[in-house]
A and B are shown apart, each in its own frame.
Chain A
Amino acid sequence: MTSPAAPRARATFDQPIVEVDAAVPLLHVSVAVKAGSLLDPVGKEGTARLLLRLMRRSGDGLSADHAEETIDRLGGHLGGDVNRSTSAFHGGAIARSTERFLDFIEATICRPRFGRAELSQLLDETRAELIERLDDDRSLARSFWVKKVFAGHAYARPTSGTLASITRIGLGDIEELYPKLFTRGAARFAFAGQITREQAQQAAARIADGLGRDVPVTADPADAQGPVGRQLVFVDKPDRTQTQIVIGGMGTLPSDEDHTALHVGNTIFGGTFTARLTQEVRAKRGWSYGAYSSIPFDRRRQTFSMWTFPQASDAAACIRLELELLDRWVERGVTARELAAAKKYLLRSHAFSVDTASKRAGLGLDEELYDLPVGHQSRYLARVQGVSLEQVNAAIGRRISSKNLVVTVLGTHKDIGSAVRESIADLASDEVVPFNQSE
């Protein structure tokens, strides 16, 4: 078994996370801040994402074309990634370009030049991308589900914005958000691959010096309450032979004492190919190519959800089965045998979470960004090993509800709408929304 990443001290800009590995001539860099789309002005969702994209194409006043050509010529890649509570630039380059690539990142983060013409260009591109997303049934179903699960909470606001919200974003919004989001106090750095500790420290210090304000600006909403009763959202799209189904409600967060136990419980329910959900939906009945459940995490309480995509004519039966499986899991928990198998899998397969320098650095960065206790990641194996059957079953019972959840079905309503509705016992509310409804 591979040893987990070693415990580290709390990282700051003068103590970046560094995982040196010279086996492959590559450098990985992440510069992240502990603030994300929750700082978007209300009604202007998508601002943080636009900001990062604009930074990427304007460091030191370079034109967008010049910036793209520079990244390519260095044998590099650089992407901006915005979540609700975090924002980050993740990039990498062939090792011979290390110094020039670090210079480029510094210019991107510390010296962006925002211009009206480039923002206008970016808004046009973003609008076109949002329209193209209407082709992606899976992501459409999930976004409608998220909106309903977090209704009334800040987490319901889409990070990528909407066709309507991005039209309200102006240059002033971008200029105002930049100094709030990118502060010295909020910045965290991770380097991996072919780089020395000194190079990493110098690069982090240079970038930190270029940022203003030591005190981070954060948005810290209370936990969402989640749905009450069983609610159905049918996303109506013509000519669907298949459905995309997302079912679930509230889940957990890393500081929750139930978090690890629930992680193990979810592995048994829908986290692997031999899990209950996959076996019942896919292996026994062949209803869906994929059938999984997940419990993502953030600073505030996140969700639990099941995802399947059966043929339209199997959708109602599949929903009924999923709800039965969920009821049984919540009411009766898991067995000692299932727990032993899941632990064995999680303990041994953890090697794949730490098998490259960039993955190890990424785990360290998560520890920083989500305020996990120092050493949280390195104690993963011990935490999983220590989980008891009683803890798993208590966590499932406390954190997962089969009564308060949202069922989102993307399909053709005229074909299967009534069958889907009838498949959900004790339905508290239902609505049909067109797939291209923007807000």
Chain B
Amino acid sequence: MAAPSRTERLARINQHAPEHGRTSHVESIAFGPSLKLERFKLENGLEILHLNDPSAPVIAYHTWFRVGSRHEKPGKTGLAHLFEHLMFNEIEGLPPGGFDRKMEAAGADNNASTWLDFTQYQEAFPKSQLGLVAGLEARRMSQLVLQKPQLDSEKEVVANERRFRVEDDVEGSIDELMWKTAFDVHPYHWPTIGWMSDIEGFTTEDCLDFYRTYYSPNNACLIVVGDVSEETLLKKISAAYGVIPASVLPIEDIQPEPRQVAERHVSVEKPTPTEKLSIGYKGPALGDADHMTTSLLVEVLFGGRASRVHKRLVRELSLASDVRASVGPHRDPSLIEIFVSAREGHTAEELLAVVDEELVRAQREPVAQEEIERATARAELGLVSGLETADGKASTIGFYETVLRRPAAAFERLAAMKYVEPGDLLRVARRYLQNSERTTIFVRPQKETAQ
């Protein structure tokens, strides 16, 4: 007898589905040369991306919400991140700490993160535990309990996280200052962890409003990677989430950042032994075709010890100990960030002069094809290394799905890189590396900490 078709399998699942749990197949998407993603949608709007990977001994189960710090308002910054912490607290019928105890008993490895454009929760676990995890995740999507004592304690934890990552961390504090200075009106102006005064001021009502607004099935996508059949998975998901109704999501109301027309500069003193230089150019959004090209340019100039700027600043001139750069992978245009740490006795001005020389060179002379090949190979290694585990695959899928709505975009970028030519890099260097659209920060050591 022939195996039942997908239509027949879905009909069987839908026969017993709860009120909002009827499931439909949306599309099949190639994920690399040999794997295929299947997209499903529940009646309540919850999307599911399933990658059946028989090689995986565990299941990765990620829940990506399309809410991040970009959805916050001034005075309430850090709420998306604080809320991520609160999601590990009390659920109806499960006391504080109960969620983690059940996850640990299942042998699950779980975590969560929040950034500018998203909040994600992730578990990886032995496949026998799928029903338990789906049930718990569905419950905390709709039955979270928020009480003042837990909120107060978690606010203190987040304040301590901020001290760890920002107040007492030189690079963290410079990074925060960079985005604050480079953006005036767009929400990328404030840090995902939030300003300290905002963290201290949150009330349970703020948190409940946020929960009711953004934590709904039609604002989320589940990514499930592992050795689990479509039917088994969808039955469990429909049963667990199908009881949750969709909610009305607010229309995103974001002011685009006006074009920067003059260079911005800040000089600060920090308790650090050497001078530092941070530069931020306004760069393309992740969905812009220029993003991949600009990323390759940044690899050629700053990626690894064989890059142009590393070779000059660290080896030839012995001016710097560390050189790094990246292109912000965000939904809206953000920053091409460059960070350089000076060696003792050298200044941020010296570093900037050399970086400027190299950037001007990149605007005037085409890079060699071999440099592009080197940068492409590094990017390919980064992508492939991230796909070794079920969890790595789910992270890659979830990120591109949430920011771009293209879950296999990592492979699209890699394929497109193979056609990049030196002229493409010249163009993006001229387009984005404009001094009038950059912010520079010079960091000077405080007297007590200078080496």
| A residues whose Cβ falls under 8 Å from a Cβ of B | 1-2, 21, 23-26, 64-65, 68-69, 71-77, 92-94, 121, 124-125, 128-129, 131-132, 134-135, 137, 237-242, 272-274, 279, 282-289, 309-311, 341, 344-345, 347-352, 354-356, 358, 436
Contacts and interface: CB of A to CB of B under 8 A. Distances in A.
Contacts of A285: 153, 156
Interface of B: 55-58, 88, 96-97, 100-101, 104-109, 124-126, 128-129, 152-161, 163-164, 167-171, 271-274, 304-306, 311, 314-315, 318, 320-322, 341, 343-344, 370, 373-374, 377-378, 380-381, 384-385, 387-390, 446, 448-449, 451
9 contacts: A24-B384, A75-B377, A94-B384, A132-B341, A135-B171, A237-B271, A273-B100, A287-B156, A354-B57
A69 B125 CA distance: 39
Q: Which of A21, A282, A341, A351 has the most CB of B within 10 A?
A: A351
A429 to B, nearest CB: 26
Given A26-B385, A68-B306, A356-B388, 18 more contacts: A2-B57, A24-B387, A26-B388, A75-B378, A76-B381, A77-B381, A94-B377, A125-B321, A131-B274, A134-B273, A273-B88, A311-B160, A344-B105, A348-B129, A351-B107, A352-B109, A355-B56, A358-B388
Contacts of B126: 1-2, 348, 351
Contacts of B343: 124, 128, 131
A287 B374 contact: no
Contacts of B272: 134-135
Contacts, number: 184
Given A23-B55, A436-B451, A72 B321 contact: no
B306 A69 contact: yes
B106 to A, nearest CB: 6
Given A75-B381, A286-B154, A311-B163, A68 B305 contact: yes
Contacts of A242: 160, 163-164, 167-168
Given A69-B306, A75-B377, A274-B100, A349 B153 contact: no
Contact of B152 (A134, A135, A273, A286): A286
B107 A347 contact: yes
Contacts of A72: 304, 306, 374, 377-378
Contacts of A350: 107
A288 B390 CA distance: 31
Nearest to A283: B97
Contacts of B274: 128, 131-132
Q: Which of B101, B124, B273, B341 has the most CB of A within 10 A?
A: B273
Nearest to B150: A283
Given A355-B56, A436-B451, A348 B159 contact: no
Given A347-B107, A349-B108, A355-B389, A134 B449 contact: yes
Given A26-B385, A134-B273, A242-B160, A286 B167 contact: no
A349 B391 CA distance: 14
B385 A284 contact: no
Contacts of A289: 157-158, 160-161, 164
A26 B384 CA distance: 7
Given A94-B380, A274-B100, A348-B125, A131 B321 contact: yes
A238 B271 contact: yes
A221 to B, nearest CB: 33
B304 A135 contact: no
Contacts of A64: 305, 315
Contact of A238 (B55, B125, B448): B448
A121 B316 CA distance: 9
Contacts of A348: 105-108, 125-126, 129
A356 B125 contact: no
Given A94-B384, A128-B343, A129-B321, A436 B273 contact: yes
Given A75-B377, A94-B384, A274-B100, A352 B58 contact: yes
A358 B392 CA distance: 14
Contact of A65 (B158, B159, B306): B306
Contacts of B449: 134, 237-238, 436
A284 B153 contact: yes
B451 A131 contact: yes
Nearest to A272: B104
Nearest to A340: B105
A274 B97 contact: yes
